[in-house]
Amino acid sequence: MHGTTVLLIEVGALLFALGMLGRLGRRIGLSPIPLYLLAGLAFGHGGLLPLSASEEFIEVGAEIGVILLLVMLGLEYSATELVGNLRSAAPAGIVDALLNALPGAAFALLLGWGWKATLVLAGITWVSSSGVVAKVLGDLGRLGNRETPVILSVLVIEDLAMAFYLPLITAVLAGVGFVGGMQALAVAVVTVIAVLVLAIRYGGAISKAVSVQDAEALLLSVLGLTLFVAGVAAELNVSAAVGAFLVGIALSGQVAHHAVEMLSPLRDLFAAVFFVFFGLTTNPADMPPVLLPAFGLAVLTMATKVLTGYVAARQAGIALPGRLRAGLALMPRGEFSVVIAGLAVVSGVQPQLAPLATAYVLITVVSGPLLARIPDYAWAKSWLRRRAATRRTTERVPATD
């Protein structure tokens, strides 16, 4: 009895504090993710106010948070969008993977970490935060810009790539070795393709089977189906997150639209718990030694993201200012990096990984959206215009000869 009361007090105080932090973040134009992580650090082991009674509860909540984050991501994209985008954006996706995953891997090797931790860090530096990037684009009024489809398709490819990466990393961290990892990857590839084909061919029928009329029944059935599939996927070592992502993709049309509306508040709640939980598992005392490496890694991989955006936008025929906008917008890392790091923390592969990932995500997610504004400032615009003008005149000179 006493345990429950303490749990209520702790969870209540925590959620209220998160609500206040969210408001503060909105006021200063900051994504709530870094604030939730900081809150987790403050409440965790060795933090200012350790929460003891509710940690188990928060752990379960965090698990549900990951699942909800992924099912919402799947619901936002339709299977046709994912596949239709694949052909045109594949080169950009490959450039993105090479330029951003390799620095992370190289960095881990440089620190003398094992191959498992290397694989994890590669994933952490690879994936931009779709949520934060989409929000930045909306806030800066860039949704109509020509480079925006380029940015979005890079994000879509990354999210789709996660459907293969997460099962691989889950299996590897479970200690099944390289062969086992490849098996998990093969299972994931077959499952993802099967789900995509099913969703494109029979998506209408699947969605029709779930009635939209009854809101309560829809909420329970979609949530239930998601958790069930996620659980089965985890049991098969294919990562719960990917199972949820595939459920989201399989649902489309009206059902997806209503499910997004109803699951959004739940996602907001449990995703907040998830970010806090990740902060909780990190001891703030471990942070200072990794700050400098995290900063170096952040600078390096933010630069490679700018290069990724530059190359991808150039392929799409975008001019220099647009290429820079695309690159700078892609910089923030967020939910996926934390999800990947979370998997590694559970398996205890490298003790320094959690604090490094926390510091890394904090740096990129705070500085990324601020740096993304650079091309909108007057001085940057005039510099770009002068550059374009000088280039034009140098091009014209030989033509008149």
Partner 1 sequence: MRVRVEQTPLPGIGVRHDLVTNSGRTVGVVSHRNGRRDLVLYDVDDPDACLASIPLTDDEAAALADVLGASLMLGQLAGLRQQAAGLLTEQIAIPAGSMFVGRRMGDARARTRTGASIVAVLRDREVIASPGPSFVFEANDVVVVVGTRQGLDGVTAILAGDIGD
* Least spacing, CB of residue 16 vs partner 1, in Å: 29
Which range, of 6-14, 20-28, 135-143, 297-305, touches partner 1 by CB under 8 A?
A: 135-143
Alpha carbon distances (Å) from 367 to 166, 278, 359, 361: 26, 20, 12, 10
CB 243 within 8 A of CB 36: no
Contact residue for partner 1 among 36, 43, 77, 274 (CB under 8 A): 77
- Which positions from 357 through 396 interact with partner 1, judged by CB under 8 A? 381, 384-385
Burial class of residue 146 in the structure, from the number of CB atoms within 10 Å of its CB (0-12 exposed, 13-18 middle, 19+ buried): middle
- For residues 81 and 268, which CB has a smaller minimum distance to partner 1 in the complex? 81
- In the list 11, 15, 30, 84, the residue contacting partner 1 (rule: CB under 8 A) is 84
Taking CB under 8 A as the rule, does residue 212 contact partner 1?
A: no
Q: Where do we find the tokens 């990037």?
A: 133
Nearest to 166 by CA among 69, 278, 284: 69
Structure token digits, residue 130:
């779709």
Site for partner 1 in 1-60 (CB under 8 A): none
Tokens of 84: 């239709």
- Residues between 298 and 327 with contacts to partner 1, criterion CB under 8 A: 318-319, 321-322, 325
Rounded distance, CA 257 to CA 91, Å?
A: 31
* Interacting residue with partner 1 among 132, 156, 188, 247 (CB under 8 A): 156
Among 68, 103, 129, 142, binds partner 1 (CB under 8 A): 142
Please, what is the minimum distance in Å from the beta carbon of residue 371 to partner 1? 17
Quick one: residue 87, left, alpha or beta (phi over 0 = left, psi -120 to 50 = alpha)?
alpha
Region near partner 1 per CB under 8 A, out of 18-26, 139-147, 270-278, 352-360 = 139-147
Smallest separation, CB 146 to partner 1 (Å): 4
Q: Which of residues 240-299 bind partner 1 (CB under 8 A)?
A: 257
77, 156 Cβ separation under 8 angstroms: yes
Determine the size of the site formed for partner 1 (CB under 8 A): 30
Burial, 183: exposed, middle or buried (Cβ in 10 Å; 0-12, 13-18, 19+)?
middle
Q: How far is the CB of 78 from partner 1 (least distance, A)?
A: 8
Q: How far is the CB of 285 from partner 1 (least distance, A)?
A: 39
* Shortest CB 252 distance to partner 1, Å: 12
Q: Which of 148, 226, 301, 304 binds partner 1 (CB under 8 A)?
A: 148
Residue 187 or 320 with smaller CB distance to partner 1: 320
Position 153 contacts partner 1 (CB under 8 A):
yes
Instruction: Answer yes or no whether residue 334 interacts with partner 1 by CB under 8 A.
Output: no
Q: How far is CA 67 from CA 19, 61, 146, 268, 272, in A?
A: 21, 10, 33, 12, 13
In the complex with partner 1, the residue whose CB is nearer, 40 or 322, is 322
* 76 is a contact residue toward partner 1 (CB under 8 A): yes
In angstroms, the CA 37 to CA 361 distance is 9
Among 51, 95, 117, 152, binds partner 1 (CB under 8 A): 152
Q: Which is nearer to partner 1, 303 or 384 (CB)?
A: 384
**Which class for 151: exposed (0-12), middle (13-18), buried (19 or more C-beta within 10 A)?**
buried
Burial of 318-331, coded b for 16+ CB within 10 Å and e otherwise, reads beebbbbbbbbbbb
Q: Determine which residue in the list 3, 28, 112, 144 makes contact with partner 1, applying CB under 8 A.
A: 144
Rounded to whole angstroms, how far apart are CA atoms 311 and 92?
7
d(C-alpha 293, C-alpha 296), whole Å: 5
- d(CA 204, CA 216) in angstroms, rounded, equals 21
Q: How far apart are CA 393 and CA 278, in angstroms?
A: 54
Choice between 85 and 239, CB closer to partner 1:
85
Q: Which is nearer to partner 1, 134 or 266 (CB)?
A: 134
Contact residues for partner 1 (CB under 8 A)? 76-77, 81-82, 84-85, 130, 134, 141-149, 152-153, 155-156, 257, 318-319, 321-322, 325, 381, 384-385
